[in-house]
Amino acid sequence: MTDGRGRAARAVEVLRASGVELAPGLSDHEIAHAERSFGVRFGPDHRALLALALPVGERWPDWRDDDNSGVRSQVRWPVDGVLFDVENNVFWPTSWGDRPDDESSRRAVVEARVAAWPRVTPLYGHRYLPADFAPGAPVLSIYQTDVIYYGDDVLDWAEREFGSRRGSATPTRWTAQTLEPWSLFAFAEEDF
């Protein structure tokens, strides 16, 4: 396995070969500015990818536009998805205790619970990378509480999303405990 920067460089090549528009990469200053502006953190693989090239176009977060409400929605998407399933799909893990009767109390519990989960940062559409993870972080597809592994790392994801290996990944290096509770969802153990 090559280092994180090498895998990010190979992922950029996959994106380029598939026709994804690539703007010049973000400087260290721009990365720090985006993190502050959007309240996110980029993990090492995400940072390496964005330093090499900034994918642009539909579904790609525009990290240079700190006034972008679409990026803010992508950042908020995982929390809003859990809230949606709590209110519309009777999602309530047993580990959260008794389900409150009123919506505002349920919202408070969800906000507090999800805030304690590992942070994820938008990569593309509803694909996310963990913020606080060593190089080689898995890519997750997060749609409400439907979470699947979409790549063992950023290169595996790029090859599956844009390259010749289409479809979601079968985790080869990850377990249900890797990014609890996100990975518990991915392993269909959502009654945590």
Answer yes or no: is 46 within a domain. Answer: yes
Strand locations in the chain (E): 21-24, 53-56, 120-124, 127-130, 139-143, 146-151
pLDDT at 68: 84
Q: What percent of the chain has pLDDT over 90?
A: 71
How many structural domains does the chain have?
1
In this predicted structure, the answer to whether residue 156 has a pLDDT above a threshold of 50 is yes
Answer yes or no: is 58 within a domain. Answer: yes
Answer yes or no: is 156 within a domain. Answer: yes
Answer yes or no: is 132 within a domain. Answer: yes
Nearest in space to 119 (alpha carbons), one of 157, 85, 151, 75? 75
Q: Which domain holds residue 125?
A: 4-186
Lowest mean pLDDT among 89-93, 154-158, 183-187: 183-187
| CA–CA gap between residue 169 and residue 167 (Å, rounded) | 7
Q: Locate tokens 């505002």: which residue?
A: 104
For the chain, report the end-to-end CA distance as a whole number of angstroms.
33
Q: Are 25 and 64 in contact (CB under 8 A)?
A: no
User: Tens digits of per-residue pLDDT, 59-73?
Assistant: 999 999 988 899 999
User: Tens digits of per-residue pLDDT, 73-84?
Assistant: 999 999 999 999
**What is the average per-residue pLDDT within 149-155?**
90
In this predicted structure, the answer to whether residue 168 has a pLDDT above a threshold of 70 is no
User: Tens digits of per-residue pLDDT, 4-43?
Assistant: 688 999 999 999 999 999 999 999 999 999 999 999 999 9
Answer yes or no: is 62 within a domain. Answer: yes
Answer yes or no: is 169 within a domain. Answer: yes
User: Tens digits of per-residue pLDDT, 85-134?
Assistant: 999 998 999 889 999 999 999 999 999 999 999 999 999 999 999 998 88
Answer yes or no: is 191 within a domain. Answer: no
Q: Please, what is the average pLDDT of the chain? A: 90
In this predicted structure, the answer to whether residue 1 has a pLDDT above a threshold of 60 is no
Answer yes or no: is 192 within a domain. Answer: no
